[in-house]
Structure 1
Amino acid sequence: MSARMFSGTCAAHSRGVLSKRGRRSAPPTIEGSDMNGTAPAAVGLCLLLVYGGASSAPDYSKRAQALEPAIQARLIGKWTNPVDSLVIEISSVDLASGQIRGKVSPTTGPAAGNEHELIGWVNAGPPINGKFDTVIPVTFSTTLYEYGTLPAWAGYLREDKLVTMHYLVWPTRPYPWDHISAFQETWTRLPGSSAAPAQ
């Protein structure tokens, strides 16, 4: 039975059957029980069979290029930018998945002194015939719950700088078209923050 047919069958059993006269009959029972018995379990099983098999772990062996330990060493540490004076600290880089973890520490405003979780991704691709410019793609984001905003950064690591576009989503703005601000930020490592030489 296809997933679509199975899904339709599950839906019909969970909401009852429409008779030819347009009246809905009670949902069918399973082994003589009613909806307070095993029928909800059958609906749950239907959902599990239809949607449960769709999720599987990513196959990172298909990565365009393996992430090297040098990338990890280049990213871990504290970074800041002159635009909004945030300090981010990248504390871990998973070389299998590319997941970045750390914290964001605002230095001004209502969020100053509060640490916020930082999560992101790093990726890599092989150089193409030595003719194309190659960088290390990086993204990261957090929640500034004191403002209700969601900031996200997308960009790249080149030498000792993170060059990013900063997208800031606002919950409340004067105009409908004004909920996403975008601007460029270049992050540099804070003095004393460990770093491996750029490769």
Structure 2
Amino acid sequence: MPPRDRERYHHGDLRRALLEAGLDLTRTGGPAALSLREVTRRVGVTPNAAYRHFADRKSLVQGVAEAIQHRMVARMRAARRASPATSAAEAARVQLRAVGLGYIHFALAEPGWFSVAFFGEPELRLADLSAPASPPAPFLLLVDALDAMEAAGCLTPERRAGAEWPCFAAVHGFAVLALDGPLQHQPRAAVDRWAARTVDDIITGLQQVRS
């Protein structure tokens, strides 16, 4: 790193600055707007300076995607805190509902970020969520919410097993339909209403005990 780059950033500051620049670029431009050259230009350092923190564009996309996923989780948790509950069972259902609607609402509010977080690079897509290596933070929050449902007695162990997959399929599929499918031209109020029904119907269906 040239002297002026070393003087401008302390240890760790440059990585954070590069990620912030990446977030700014992708918020409106999606994954196509993200490049090491443009990120370093915005930060005001040479492209070589970025390689101390990101080996290539793929690793930069991954870093930005993880930052976006954590922002999504923060919004999900904020929605959960805004909905008080009077019992453990109600709290568990509120938590799961906040995760589901939070996922959809984030996608609709931040389509550029959503595209980076879940579609940015073929190697970073959600095809391997069951692998032991760190799944995306929103998926882990979904798993926690379902575990809370079981602990509160809302789900039997049999119904809990594998429940993350229909839940994830419902909200992810709805988000894609609303962003790029037949729902994209519908009024936002109608989309929000259908999103709530999708999440509520999934939660109700999960709790049904099959004979």
Tell me, yes or no, whether TM beats 0.5.
no
Structure with greater Cα Rg: 1
TM-score (norm 2): 0.23
Higher relative contact order (CA 8 A, sep 6+): 2
**Structure with greater proportional strand content:** 1
